[in-house]
Homo-oligomer: A and B are copies of this chain.
Amino acid sequence: MHIEQASKQELKDLLADLYEEYDKLAELKLALDLTRGKPGAEQVALSDALDGILAGDFRAADGSDVRNYGGIDGLPEAKALFGSVLGTSPEETLVGGNSSLSLMYQVIDFAMNEGLRGEDSAWALNDTVKFLCPVPGYDRHFSICEYMHIEMLAVPMLDSGPDMDQAEAMVKADPDIKGIWCVPRFGNPTGSVYSDDTVERIARLPQIASDNFLVLWDNAYAVHSLYDDAPELASIAGYCRKHDTMDGVFQFGSTSKITFAGAGVAFIGSSERNLSTLKAHLAFQTIGPDKVNQLRHVRLLKDPETLAAHMAKHAALIRPRFEAVLEVLAKELGDTGMGEWTEPKGGYFISFDTRPGLAQEVVDLAGNIGVKLTPAGATFPYGRDEANRNIRLAPTFPSLEDVRASAKAFTVCVKLATVKQELAGRG
């Protein structure tokens, strides 16, 4: 039954049923959690061989002893392997420590305060620095901007990626815009994959934007497809070469959702010129990354084929969790007009839109019966979802049974909030 076609009496009856159902859920004293984009225990266990994999052989391919000091930008074989993920050559790749977020922070900190092209290029010389933020998006990106006093301008996400007509118009009109955040494949939270045309247009943004504009290309889910027929992402490095804009793009990736979430390896792809400038900056603050852990990762993941086989094991573990949520959503909310959601072919999230004005209430209702959801607004800059619609669902960490129970309880909360709203609207 579509909510707009229901009679007032039908809605009242439904509301009574929903309250009853909600009260029963409350009695169960659930402790469920759909907030966290983190791998489950079985997933991290896929990489348990990392510990001990070196078997006493601590020599990198170039003969260097990875246990000792030396090398600010990572092992050659790690650059080759992770460059293959980003479509960059080893010379265009830097492999760092366990956190791509740190690498993003360091790049922005450097562009802001030191300047990638010398001190005259430092963004901080501008009174105002702005970033384009496709929404909904990743809250940690927005936090870095807030912390750095970078003003965030929302750009809507379409199925093909950010609305590029709008993005290009904004960038042309406003020289204070110095960057754009992108999660181009299986984006957080929508799961959408940028179209080839969008990737090419983003690769050209540095040409139409003001000087020292940077694309922050967080390809966190580059190899994280759930299905063999999941859409591929065009290579932004390829388009950058075509349009000579490699200096305007920093790609990021990590093994956080490939091996161990907290103990992986993060990497950057960019122009040789950018990396050389960045390395000089990093030399002031670190002796270099953990090369032992890099070597472990190379020994485990070996080459693109071995990496793909490893990722297929992850998919086998989390695909049923995604399908469980999507099944419940379709069964409970399909054709009801009570919400819309994405059906991602990879990544870690499902993005759910309530009818306008209800996200906060749904999150509260769920929280009150022990189902923790990502705070409403978290997927928007400044935590402000003006339409109060978007809720991010993260099904990977709980057990399949818990995922199913959470999704069911979630739909009860959605229905309850929506029916209340509809009844109130009819007066």
Binding site for B on A (CB under 8 A): 36, 38-39, 41, 44-45, 47-48, 50-56, 58, 65-71, 97-99, 101-102, 105-106, 143-144, 147, 256, 260-263, 284-293, 296
| A46, chain B: closest CB distance, angstroms | 10
Assess A98 versus B285: contact at CB under 8 Å? Given A48-B56, A67-B262: no
In angstroms, Cα B282 to Cα A106, docked, is 12
If A69-B256, A102-B286, A263-B291 are given as contacts, then 16 extra A-B residue pairs at C-beta distance below 8 Å, sorted by A number, are A41-B65, A41-B68, A48-B58, A50-B292, A51-B55, A51-B292, A52-B54, A66-B262, A67-B261, A70-B262, A97-B97, A97-B98, A99-B286, A102-B285, A263-B290, A293-B293
Residue on B with the closest CB to A40? B68
A18-B59 Cα distance, complex, nearest whole Å: 42
CA distance A86 to B54 in the complex (A): 32
* Distance, CA A362 to CA B71, complexed state (A): 29
Residue of B nearest to A70 (CB): B262
DSSP majority for the A interface? loop
Q: Given A41-B65, A68-B38, A256-B287, do A262 and B99 touch, yes or no (CB 8 Å)?
A: no
A-B pairs with the 8 shortest C-beta distances? A52-B52, A263-B292, A105-B285, A44-B67, A67-B260, A263-B290, A147-B284, A69-B261
- Protomer copies: 2
- How far is B39's CA from A211's CA once the two chains are assembled, in angstroms? 45
Picked from B68, B263, B296, the residue with its CB within 8 Å of the CB of A39 is B68
Whether B263 lies near A293 (C-beta < 8 A) is yes
CA of A320 to CA of B288 in the docked complex: distance in angstroms? 29
> Which of chain B's residues have a CB closer than 8 A to the CB of A36?
69
A203 to B98 Cα, complex, angstroms: 35
- Could you list 6 examples of A-B contacts with CB < 8 Å? A51-B52, A67-B260, A67-B262, A71-B262, A262-B288, A262-B291
> Given the complex of chains A and B, what is the CA–CA distance between A50 and B54 in angstroms?
10
CB-contact partner of A263 in B51, B66, B99, under 8 A: B66
Complex alpha-carbon distance, A67 and B41, angstroms: 9
Residues on B with beta carbons closer than 8 Å to the beta carbon of A284: 105, 143-144, 147
